[in-house]
Amino acid sequence: MEIRAEGLEVRFGDARILGDVWLTLRPGELVGLIGPNGAGKTTLLRALADLVRPTRGVVRYDGKPRSALGRAVLARRLAFLAQGDEVNWALRVDHVVELGRLPHRRAFAGPSQKDRDAVERALQAAGVAHLRFRACSTLSGGERKRVLLARALAAEGEVLLADEPVAALDPLHQLRIMQLLRSTARGGAGVVAVLHDLMLATRFCDRIVLLCAGSILLDGDPAELSDALIRKAYGVTAFRGEQDGQPFVAPWVPCDRSSDESFGGLR
């Protein structure tokens, strides 16, 4: 499924969160949505998932607005992983992952063999199969995050929109999840991941969308993420390296002294 944002503007009261965003997401692509805090990444992701109503512009799914598609159809085709690790009540891990299959189930029907297979694949893929009988309330933040990713993967939708899927994960699991997102995209799904880690974003993503103050500064190949753009968006200099023939970018030092001074009280 191709998703197109056409001239999206989102306002919360007087605050303009997104302004005139044009973006196309294609199947088979892992897109890294990056940008500083407050840039509008989560709002853009929520708008793409039809969770926030734009004040202007429209999101089209295979050329159709959501109203023409239907809420239930969209839920079957698009999986959304929210920021954070919210799981209310002491639900068991396999029950949480099973929730990802709700859009595919008839009302009040139990999970079918197909549902159970999808849940099993998701548990294995996210590396949480060994936790399946644990209550989510007994897991660490990182473990819970992986369980929720498994929940989103279990939907086996054509599109996966993931808000900070690797936040709170240890390095091993960050790499594993990025590999998993890339292989999900290689399998034909369109994947968008909101990321803060420039190294992971430039290394694993097919395309980078750099958002700053509600506008897109860059929509292109990771190689196009220049020092100037990083300085403009984040106010930091970048360190560039290459390992095994793969270029990567890492933030290095804050650019201006004023940001040092504003954090002076912390020292």
Partner 1 sequence: MTASALPGTDAHARRERLAYWKLAGLLALAAVAMTIASAFVGYARLDVLPALADALHGERSLPAMVLTQLRLPRAILGALVGFSLGITGAAMQGLLRNPLAEPGIVGVSGAAAFGAVVCFYSGLAGAFALALPLGGIAGAFVVALILFALVGRGAGTMTLILAGVAINSFAGAMTSIALNLSPNPYAALEIVFWLMGSLVDRSLPQVWLAAPLMVAGWALLISVGPALDALTLGEDSARSLGFDLPRLRVKVVAGCALAVGAAVAVTGVIGFVGLVVPHILRPFVGARPGRLLLVSGFGGAILLLGADIAVRLMPIRPELHLGVMTAVIGGPFLFSLVYRLREDA
**By C-alpha distance, which of 221, 162, 219 is closest to 5?**
219
Query: Is the CB of 87 or the CB of 211 nearer to partner 1?
Result: 87
Query: Is the CB of 62 or the CB of 256 nearer to partner 1?
Result: 62
Write down the least CB distance from residue 55 to partner 1, Å: 15
**By C-alpha distance, which of 191, 188, 159, 190 is closest to 178?**
191
Phi/psi-derived region of residue 60, left when phi > 0, alpha when psi is between -120 and 50, beta in every other case: beta
Write down the least CB distance from residue 125 to partner 1, Å: 9
Cα-based angle 17, 215, 223 (whole degrees, multiple of 5): 140
Query: Is the CB of 122 or the CB of 185 nearer to partner 1?
Result: 122
Write down the least CB distance from residue 151 to partner 1, Å: 7
Report yes or no: 42 and 68 within 8 Å, Cβ to Cβ: no
Q: Binding residues for partner 1, per CB under 8 A?
A: 46, 49, 51, 71-72, 74-76, 78-80, 82, 84, 86-92, 95-96, 99-100, 102-103, 105, 107-108, 110-111, 113, 116-117, 119-121, 124, 129, 135, 148, 151
Beta bridge partners of 167: none
C-alpha distances in angstroms, 96 versus 78, 140, 197, 235? Answer: 18, 15, 27, 39
Query: Is the CB of 15 or the CB of 107 nearer to partner 1?
Result: 107
- Half-sphere exposure (CA, 13 Å, Cβ side) for 54? 26
Buried b (16+ CB within 10 A) or exposed e, 59-92: bbbeeeebeebeeeebbbbbbbbbbebebeeeeb
Query: Is the CB of 84 or the CB of 142 nearer to partner 1?
Result: 84
Query: Is the CB of 137 or the CB of 259 nearer to partner 1?
Result: 137
Query: Is the CB of 114 or the CB of 186 nearer to partner 1?
Result: 114
Chain-centroid distance of CA 128 in Å reads 19
Write down the least CB distance from residue 9 to partner 1, Å: 19
Write down the least CB distance from residue 45 to partner 1, Å: 10
Phi/psi-derived region of residue 146, left when phi > 0, alpha when psi is between -120 and 50, beta in every other case: alpha
Write down the least CB distance from residue 144 to partner 1, Å: 11
Write down the least CB distance from residue 118 to partner 1, Å: 9
